[in-house]
Structure 1
């Protein structure tokens, strides 16, 4: 739920977004990204914040690192956090990035050999009101290549849940790996709708976060999917391989009572 926020705070956030937006790199910068099968990629991260339904202050910040291409859990970090910034549509990153960035820095300090080479973010990147979503924010501040993978379509810059969009899903997403561009009214492609697996006809929405091209982001997301949601993000909810802190374990054990933060922004 969006809340009333001081106009000066919003203006400051807008200025900071605009400044950080200039640092986004929308191209492949790593050797593994240029390999047809990402043959030199070894570690893929996933991040997410989970909330108890009805509680917009207390959350569980989660980072997992999986091996690639086997997608086995190598590392997991979950911490209960208390959010201080309000949720304002289009400014989710100011609410969540500090805790996700802290998890990455904690890993880099304690077990640098497990630092992911790329991070899949449960949210959007360039597919955003001002082309600077959570995945861009985290990518620029961490310096790590990031990909935004959203489960719901953000209606932005002329892209809407229209009959045409639904028709594209039916006609163009026939099998896992199929995709089509999300084109703004300006003609700029901000991301792609991807059928991530043969068993799920509902797409995910992939966009560049930082230091990766859109084509590589889509290929990587598909290669990480056993089900609809890519494993690095799905595993932030699973906790099947490791023992998380008790408070986060309790939080997520009541998954039927939990709701995700508005990651479509």
Structure 2
């Protein structure tokens, strides 16, 4: 796992990202997305992977489905998985997506009535080195609308964590306020969102698939009780709890 990846593998992954990038839909596609109150949206999903400290191979892949707008957990799936692909910056999806897709397929097979109408991903979508992050990858392969929500700023395409960025964050007065993350090309790749009145630290929202950016930002804000949207927060909490219960000797 620690050996540097081969150039062939990186080229193969870049080629696959470029191919799949052409399939991303960056606009609203569902009727509920076009409603100011998201009328018709009843189930929102969240996915995450949690690792045992010091172990980069074994992880808990987590899927949760919450009711909307109540944000109560309707379904959860915790599964220990062994990652086979190496970690390479910009290619996280090749490590994680297969296991998240498996979780969605299990749900579709066992309780199809609980399939989420949109999935929140702990990571980036179009706000990515090649405009194809984990949320895009999962969205295209699952066919579901996906939103990428990252806790840390990916410094990419001319977007930097500099003085200007910090002053833009300081100008976010209330929950729901946002500003665009604009690439050197002029394209808006995502938005920094003050997701909660309780937290002045923003999250970084970008389109994954089958949803427009403004809709993704509004939806993210509507799913936040705290800084991180509830579907991702619940996926993170439950995967960590699973590791605590099943691997009590290991620190997570």
Q: Is TM more than 0.5 here?
A: yes
> Structure 2: which 5+ runs fail to align?
none
Question: Alignment partner for residue 250 of structure 1, among 238, 245, 251?
Answer: 245
2:152 aligned partner: 152
Instruction: Output the CA distance in 2 between the equivalents of 1:38 and 1:253.
Output: 41
Number of aligned residue pairs: give it. 252
Shift of 1:39: 1.2
Q: Say which SS state the counterpart of residue 89 (structure 1) adopts.
A: coil
1:263 aligned partner: none
Q: Say which SS state the counterpart of residue 50 (structure 2) adopts.
A: strand
Q: Say which SS state the counterpart of residue 238 (structure 1) adopts.
A: helix
Does the C-alpha gap of structure 1 residues 251 and 147 become closer, same or farther in structure 2, counting only changes over 3 Å? farther
Does the C-alpha gap of structure 1 residues 192 and 8 become closer, same or farther in structure 2, counting only changes over 3 Å? same
**TM-score of the aligned structures, taking structure 2 as reference length:** 0.96
Instruction: Output the CA distance in 2 between the equivalents of 1:249 and 1:40.
Output: 37
2:41 aligned partner: 41
Shift of 1:248: 3.6
1:192 aligned partner: 191
Q: Is the 8 A contact 1:47 1:119 kept in 2?
A: yes
- What do residues 32-73 of structure 1 show as CA deviations (whole Å, max 9, x unaligned)? 000001011000000000111221101000000000000000
**TM-score of the aligned structures, taking structure 1 as reference length:** 0.91
Shift of 1:95: 0.3
Instruction: Output the CA distance in 2 between the equivalents of 1:159 and 1:253.
Output: 41
Q: Is the 8 A contact 1:65 1:114 kept in 2?
A: yes
Q: Is the 8 A contact 2:117 2:144 kept in 1?
A: yes
Does the C-alpha gap of structure 1 residues 164 and 121 become closer, same or farther in structure 2, counting only changes over 3 Å? same
Instruction: Output the CA distance in 2 between the equivalents of 1:253 and 1:231.
Output: 26
Shift of 1:2: 8.0
Q: What RMSD, in angstroms, separates the aligned Cα atoms of the two structures?
A: 1.9
Q: Is the 8 A contact 1:3 1:88 kept in 2?
A: no
Does the C-alpha gap of structure 1 residues 188 and 251 become closer, same or farther in structure 2, counting only changes over 3 Å? farther
Task: State the 4+ residue runs in structure 1 displaced beyond 4 angstroms.
Answer: 251-255
2:224 aligned partner: 225
> Structure 1: which 5+ runs fail to align?
259-265
